[in-house]
Amino acid sequence: MKTMILAAAALAVTAGSAPAADMAVKAYKAPPPVAFDPWDIAFGAGVVSDYVFRGVTQSNHKPSVTAYFEPRYNLGKDLQLYVGSAVESISFANRAAAEVDIYGGIRPTFGAFAFDFGVWGYLYPGGTCYYGAPTDTAGRSLSAECAANVLPNGNVMKKDVSFFEGFAKVTYTVSDNWAVGLNEYYSPNFLNTGAWGNYASITARYTAPAAVFGASGVGMYVSGEFGRQWLGTSDSFYGTGIAAAGYAGPFPNGIKYADYNAWNIGVGLTYKVFTLDLRYSGSDLSKGDCNAFTSDFAAPLNSSFTSINPGGGGSNWCGAAFIAKLSADLTAMAGVK
């Protein structure tokens, strides 16, 4: 009897262990490897109350819309190649239809340091030349279009102000909440004025911990930038200043534009793909020097005289501005940028 009980027990153990062994093998079976796709695409759009670029409005302090499209190729987790295009609505003195950006570069990452090197082209199609005189200050004949078009305040602007910049940027992630950055941009012919341009800035950003808003999915950040724009001397086209208002071109060799500081600080709220950014922007460029630099079509003659602005037109395009922007940013692979 004892022998029969032991045999039955052994049979039960054997019968029960086979399915258990099968289940164990199935539970730990490795899944097939996921194929690595190096391609990604970032895209988005937004609307902003005032399109300000380095302390200077590009939209005459009026709303602007923007959109971008950026294909990316990841050579690895720490090296990315990219090209992109963006468009913004603007309001320039030459009545250009829009700003169309074409750019590309490489983004290497080394630990907490994220770099970005590339070239950015700014295109302004559909412009009209405004000069109001048959020749420029060097005596060269201008097109009939230039001679026929006069801005009320006498400012002048070329038909095409397209240009490009080379840039280098680095961001250092201090912690989960803090990041700081340095930026450098250089153009041999800023806004096609003939003057070189160099812009350098420092940035800082604080991102609030996710626990601040709990499970709501809302995020918050505070960020700011301080930069300086250095500018060279324009070509003779802009040396006329306000020739149409009675001045015979006091700068035959061009205008040495004023260098200036620009800054911005603001707070942003994020939810899924959306960002609401509220920002204060300003610069220390005077109204007179701003007029000489921007060719502001709306600048009144209000005695804003400077050494490079003898006509006295004063522009508020470089003054303080409050900016509100609502945007959406996504990537094809992750869904959220």
pLDDT tens column, 130-161 = 987 777 666 677 777 787 888 888 889 999 99
Please report, for the chain, the start and end positions of each structural domain, with discontinuous segments joined by +: 105-322
Distance CA 150, CA 127 (A): 14
Helices (H) and strands (E) in the chain, counts: 3, 14
Neighbours of 92 (CB within 10 A): 22
What pLDDT was estimated at residue 334? 64
Tokens representing 190? 């800023």
What stretches of the chain show up as alpha helix (H) in DSSP?
2-27, 144-148, 287-294
Q: Is 268 helix (H, G, I), strand (E, B) or coil?
A: strand
Mean pLDDT for 269-293 is 97
Residue 19 sits at φ, ψ, to 5 deg, of -60, -35
What percent of the residues of the chain are helix, what percent strand, and what percent coil, each to the nearest 5?
Answer: 15, 45, 40
Q: What is the dihedral of CA 40, 46, 51, 53, to 10 degrees?
A: -20
Categorise residue 229: left if φ over 0, alpha if ψ from -120 to 50, beta otherwise.
beta
Tokens representing 128? 């009209």
Identify which of 105, 60, 103 has the alpha carbon closest to the alpha carbon of residue 84.
Answer: 103
**Lowest-confidence region among 93-107, 167-181, 234-248:** 234-248
Strands (E) located in 130-196:
163-173, 178-187
What pLDDT was estimated at residue 249? 57
* pLDDT over threshold 70, residue 4: no
Measured CA distances, 315 to 34, 60, 254, 260, 284 (Å):
58, 10, 20, 15, 13
pLDDT band at 285 (very low <50, low <70, confident <90, very high): very high
pLDDT band at 310 (very low <50, low <70, confident <90, very high): confident
Average pLDDT, the chain: 88
Burial, 6: exposed, middle or buried (Cβ in 10 Å; 0-12, 13-18, 19+)? exposed
Counting Cα atoms < 13 Å in the Cβ hemisphere of 200 gives: 1
Distance CA 100, CA 94 (A): 15
What pLDDT was estimated at residue 167? 98
> pLDDT tens for residues 8-53?
444 444 444 444 444 445 555 666 666 678 999 999 999 999 999 9
What stretches of 227-280 show up as alpha helix (H) in DSSP?
none
Q: What percent of the chain has pLDDT over 90?
A: 71
Are 173 and 114 in contact by the 8 Å Cβ rule? The answer is: yes
- What pTM, to 2 d.p., does this model score? 0.86
Distance CA 290, CA 302 (A): 13
> pLDDT tens for residues 209-268?
998 998 899 999 999 999 999 999 999 888 865 443 444 457 878 899 999 999 999 999
Mean pLDDT for 164-179 is 98
What pLDDT was estimated at residue 315? 96
Measured CA distances, 39 to 70, 102, 185, 251, 308 (Å):
11, 19, 28, 52, 50
What pLDDT was estimated at residue 27? 56
